[in-house]
Structure 1
Amino acid sequence: MSNVRVLYEDNHIIAAVKPAGVLAQGDRTRDESVLGMVKKYLKEKYKKPGNVFVGLLHRLDRPVSGIMLFAKTSKGASRLSEQFRNRTIEKTYHALVCGKPKVRKGVLVNHLIKDEKLKKGRQKAGGDEAVLHYEVIRFNKKYSLLKIQIDGGQFHQIRTQLSLAGLPIVGDVKYKGEAWADQGAIALCATMLSFKKATEDGIVSLMVDLPKEWENYF
């Protein structure tokens, strides 16, 4: 049986937890992906002989963990894609960062571009506006736990903006964060997600716990 952790499923949508270090969808490496794991899960659960349709609705970077939504039908894909476009889906992240913000609640605003050569986000005048709202949940002399919501969805937006603010994510050495034991992961997790059902009334709200290893920093 597929080892994917399913949080929610109806006739049109399925939500699963992406482990840090696992691809959102397959690439040239042919490494395991959450999309592939969900397909395998549905194929085995419903004993489907042929290919299984699973629509990718959004992505998380490979080293990031957390909640991902997938469509089981074309109608589900259409309805949820519209919600993503209209930004009516509520997404919340938590990040363990080096340092402490000057204020408990704040907003970061930057203009970002994607550096194609370095495969990184970068600040540049005239770039797309990126807005990040944060709240300090916990802190000590060296680290802070932040609750985060963003406007937009630029390449590596959270990672870039926190690094620019002098608050790099633990494990994210690409953006000046300090290294930690799990080289395939960074301390960024998509912890909460709310969306409207595809074909009926009702809001689905999902939540996952923070990775246990984060506790070692407090």
Structure 2
Amino acid sequence: MVLEDQILFEDNHLLIINKKAGQIVQGDKTGDVSLVDEVKTYIKKKYNKPGNVFAGLVHRIDRPTSGIVIFAKTSKALSRLTEMLKKREIKKTYWAVIKKTEIPNKQRLIHFLKKNEKTNKAIVYKTPNIGAKEAILSYESMQTSDNYMLLEINLETGRHHQIRAQLSSIKCPIKGDLKYGFDRSNPDGSIHLLARKIEFIHPIKKEPLQIIAPVPQNDNLWKSFVN
């Protein structure tokens, strides 16, 4: 069944998917099949549900990014998770690969981001600006190879293209991310950004959950950082 190999967690309330780079989370002008559509089809077939199927999208990640996406299977779970997201009670950890460079081993970045609708790109400001929203993340350098570095990133806010734009602003664009200044694309159109880990209290069962996504198995650079 489609999606089965991408499921990281499932119960009566939640479905947590390991999105592949290139999969689109919600439908757009391309008309490509979205992850939302695939999740609804999966639930419909697995549980033999007639009519419309509920699959509440809790958050999104960019198309060229891989990793964790949370869906709620009930409206109750969706409303609680949405509230938890607003209160920053869902901790998100990302991994990003950048070119090997001289940067602080750990750093907290604070910028102000404004989305340019025409280019679908975030404009980065160092100080408050009209229409710009505060964006905060912390990173730590985890590993280094001959040419690349692996950063672990903790998001404090969730802005449009936040990690991509903030890393680019300190001259550390993510591998493959042409939009934000990397010098060449990846052959498959992906960028080396992974929604690696998510931690929160289950909205219904009230138990702590920690979900970790594996690195993309078709990519030797990713795999070199976990072996």
Q: TM-score range by the shorter chain?
A: over 0.9
**Shift of the alpha carbon at 1:39?**
0.9
* Residue pair 1:94, 1:191 contacting (<8 A) in 2 also: yes
* Residue pair 2:3, 2:39 contacting (<8 A) in 1 also: no
* Residue pair 2:216, 2:223 contacting (<8 A) in 1 also: no
Following superposition of structure 1 onto structure 2, how do residues 1-218 of structure 1 map, counting pairs within 5 Å? 1-4=1-4, 5-124=6-125, 125=127, 126=129, 127-212=132-217, 213=219, 214-215=221-222
* Residue pair 2:112, 2:135 contacting (<8 A) in 1 also: yes
Distance 1:216 1:58, change over 3 A: closer
Tell me the SS of whatever aligns to 1:75.
helix
* Residue pair 1:91, 1:192 contacting (<8 A) in 2 also: yes
**Shift of the alpha carbon at 1:130?**
1.2
One-letter amino acid of the counterpart of residue 170, structure 2: A
* Residue pair 2:109, 2:137 contacting (<8 A) in 1 also: yes
Q: Deviation digits for residues 135-163 of structure 1, max 9, x if unmatched?
A: 10111453210000111111100000000
Aligned counterparts of 1:105 and 1:171: Cα–Cα separation in 2: 23
Tell me the SS of whatever aligns to 1:118.
coil
Q: Deviation digits for residues 100-142 of structure 1, max 9, x if unmatched?
A: 2422111112111111221111123422221120010111453
**Shift of the alpha carbon at 1:28?**
2.7
Aligned counterparts of 1:184 and 1:140: Cα–Cα separation in 2: 22
Q: Deviation digits for residues 141-189 of structure 1, max 9, x if unmatched?
A: 5321000011111110000000011100001001111324434210000
* Residue pair 2:91, 2:155 contacting (<8 A) in 1 also: no
Aligned counterparts of 1:55 and 1:3: Cα–Cα separation in 2: 16
How well do the aligned residues superpose, as a CA RMSD in angstroms? 1.7
Moved more, 107-116 or 184-193: 107-116
Percent identity between the two aligned chains: 41
* Residue pair 2:105, 2:140 contacting (<8 A) in 1 also: yes
Paired residues in the alignment total 218
Tell me the SS of whatever aligns to 1:26.
coil
Tell me the SS of whatever aligns to 1:129.
strand
One-letter amino acid of the counterpart of residue 89, structure 1: I
Structure 1 unpaired stretches of 5+ = none
- The ranges of structure 1 where at least 4 consecutive aligned residues each deviate by more than 6 angstroms after the TM superposition are none
- Which TM-score applies when normalising by structure 2? 0.90
Aligned counterparts of 2:224 and 2:122: Cα–Cα separation in 1: 27
Tell me the SS of whatever aligns to 1:63.
coil
Tell me the SS of whatever aligns to 1:171.
coil
